[in-house]
Copies of this chain bind each other. A is one copy, B any other.
Amino acid sequence: MTATTFFSLLDVLGTFAFGLSGALVAIRRRLDIFGILVLAAATGTAGGIVRDLLLGDVPPEVLRTIWPLAVTSLAGLCAFFFGPVIDRLTRPVMLLDAAGLGVFAVAGCNKALAAGLEWPGAVLLGMITAIGGGVLRDIMAAEVPRVLHEEVYALAALAGAAAYATCVAFGLTGAWAAGGAVLLAFAIRVASVRYGWTLPRAGRD
């Protein structure tokens, strides 16, 4: 398996994971099958759409290829038919989601660097790409975005994007740098869930 195939596979997995999370929120809100498919599509593709809009790469990729919607529709159907099962599979879903978070952060950062952005902007864009889908999902469900109150979520994406940008600054491009950065974001996210890491809150007693 070449590096490109490997990364395309990760990209598909990430889109699937985000689509699944959107579909599960839709089911919890008692939406019908079409609402489930729409929220799965919005969650799985919004990050990439915002990334492409901010980089001026329009029409965005999701409107030019068919696979992202095919993948999110599959995720929506899985959630529709196996919802109760998937709800019990919290750990695999969380792992998928963490993988998607890392992939999207690094891919967004990579695309931004290729478009000529400096590293601070590129790292920021990577984070926006990674969290954009989840933010839209929660806004459409009329909830405070989970990324704002879930511990160490956006921070993991930021770390992955920053690690990749650092590698590139030192001349380390290509699959190894990207893979390592994805792994870093993944590891931080999974460890934070596993060990219950928290960040400080403002004292308001």
| A contacts with B, residue count (CB < 8 A) | 60
Given contacts A55-B59, A58-B54, A117-B64, A149 and B32 within 8 Å (CB-CB): yes
Interface of A is mostly: helix
Binds B, one of A78-86, A94-102, A175-183: A78-86
Q: How far is the CA of A60 from the CA of B38 in the complex (A)?
A: 25
Q: How far is the CA of A32 from the CA of B152 in the complex (A)?
A: 10
Q: Which residues of A contact B (CB under 8 A)?
A: 26-27, 29-36, 38-39, 49, 53-56, 58-60, 62-64, 66, 69, 79-81, 83-84, 112, 115, 117-118, 120-121, 124-125, 135, 139-145, 147-149, 151-152, 154-155, 198-204
